[in-house]
Copies of this chain bind each other. A is one copy, B any other.
Amino acid sequence: MAEKYSIGEFAKKTGTTIRALRYYDEIHLLKPTLVSPSGRRYYSNNDIIQLQKIVALKFLGYSLEKISEFLHLKDWDLKDSLAFQKQEMMQRKEHIERVIRALDHALHMMEDQGTVNSSIFISLINNIQMEDEHKEWLKGLIPENKVETLYDISEEKQQELNTRTALLFTKMKEAVGKNPESDDVQELIKQYMDITEDVLGGSLELIQDLINSQVEIEDDPKLFPSPFTPEEEEWVGKAMEVYLIRKGVIADGNETS
C-alpha cells in the first residue's frame, strides 16, 4: 500500500522517462514523495495518480505550465478551458487538412507530369495556402456571392484544373522567345483562356472586370507569387495582347486611326 519506487521503477511503471520525471521535479510539477539524504527520488502510489493526471492533460494539448496551474488550483473548473482547447485543436486540424490538400494537389501534379517547374509548384502551393486571403481580396472586386460560387467546386475538379494549368504553364515557359503571333503560341494562349473561362463559368463580364483591375496584382508577391519570371511575363503579355486584339476584345495600338 505504501510502496516506494525508485525513479527507474516508477518510470517503467508509468511509461514515462527518468529524464521527464526529473524535469517535472525541477519545474515543481511533480515532486517525489520522498528524497533520500543522498538525493535519490522515491515515488509513491499517490504520485502515480498525479502523473496520470499530468499525462491525460498533456494528451489534451495543455502545456506543462497550464497543467501546473490546474493541479495547483485544485479547482478543476475545466469546462471553459476544455471548450477553448477544443477550438484550438479544431484550428490546428483545419490547418493540417489544408496542408494535406496542398500535398495532394502537388502529388497529383507530379504523377501526371513527372517533374514540375519549381515556380509553378510554388504558386500552386500558394494558391491553397492563401485561399482565404485570395477570397477576401476578390470580394473587394466582385460581389461576395459570386466569389463563393467560384470557390465552390469539387476537389477533383480543382485538382484537374490545377494540373491542367501547371502543364500549360510548363509549355508556355518552354515557348518563351517564340514569335507571339505564331499559331502554336496563340494556341497556348487560347488554352489558357479556355481554362480561365472554365473557372469563371464562362461569364465574360467577370473576365472583363478582372482584366480591368489586374494592374494591381503584379507587385504584391506575398499575395500572388507569379509562376513566371519578369521576362516570361512580358512575353506572355505580348502574346496575350495579340490574342485579344485578334478576338477584338481590345484595340490594336498599332492600327492607323
- Residue contact A48 to B221, C-beta cutoff 8 Å: yes
Evaluate contact between B86 and A100: CB separation under 8 angstroms.
yes
Q: How large is the interface on A (under 10, 10 to 19, 20 to 34, 35 or more residues)?
A: 35 or more
By a CB distance below 8 angstroms, the chain B residues around A1 are 230
Interface check A207, CB cutoff 8 A: no
Query: Nearest CB to that of A93 among chain B residues?
Result: B96
Contacts of A99 in B (CB 8 A): 59-61, 89
- In the bound assembly, the distance between CA atoms of A119 and B48 in angstroms comes to 11
In contact, B93 and A52 (Cβ under 8 angstroms): no
**Could you say which residues of chain B place their CB within 8 Å of the CB of A171?**
none
What is the bound-complex CA distance between A89 and B90, given in angstroms? 15
**A59–B125 touching, CB < 8 Å:** yes
Q: Measured between C-beta atoms, what is the minimum distance from A113 to chain B in Å?
A: 11
For residues 103 through 141 of chain A, which have their beta carbon under 8 Å from a beta carbon of chain B?
A: 103-104, 106-107, 110, 115-116, 118-119, 121-122, 125-126, 129
> Using Cβ atoms and an 8 Å threshold, which residues of chain B touch A100?
86, 89-90, 93
Count copies of this chain in the complex.
Answer: 2
24 A-B residue contacts at CB 8 Å?
A: A13-B222, A45-B230, A49-B122, A52-B122, A52-B126, A52-B221, A52-B225, A59-B102, A59-B125, A59-B129, A60-B99, A60-B102, A76-B115, A78-B110, A79-B110, A82-B103, A82-B106, A85-B103, A86-B100, A89-B96, A89-B99, A90-B100, A93-B97, A96-B96
Residues of B within 8 A of A61 (CB): 99
Which secondary structure characterizes the binding site on chain A? helix
A49-B119 in contact (CB<8A): yes
User: Which residues does A use to contact B, with CB under 8 Å?
Assistant: 1, 13-15, 45, 48-49, 52-53, 55-57, 59-61, 76, 78-79, 82-83, 85-86, 89-90, 92-93, 96-97, 99-100, 102-104, 106-107, 110, 115-116, 118-119, 121-122, 125-126, 129, 221-222, 225, 229-230
- Whole-angstrom distance between the alpha carbons of A83 and B45 in the complex? 45
Q: Tell me, in angstroms, the Cα distance from A225 to B116 when the chains sit together.
A: 52
Q: Name the CB-closest residue of B to A96.
A: B93
In the complex, A230→B104 CA distance in Å?
52
Residues of chain B lying within 8 A (CB to CB) of residue A76: 115-116, 118, 121
Known: A53-B122, A118-B53. A107 touches B89 (CB 8 A): no
A103 touches B60 (CB 8 A): yes
Bound Cα distance A102, B103 (Å): 28
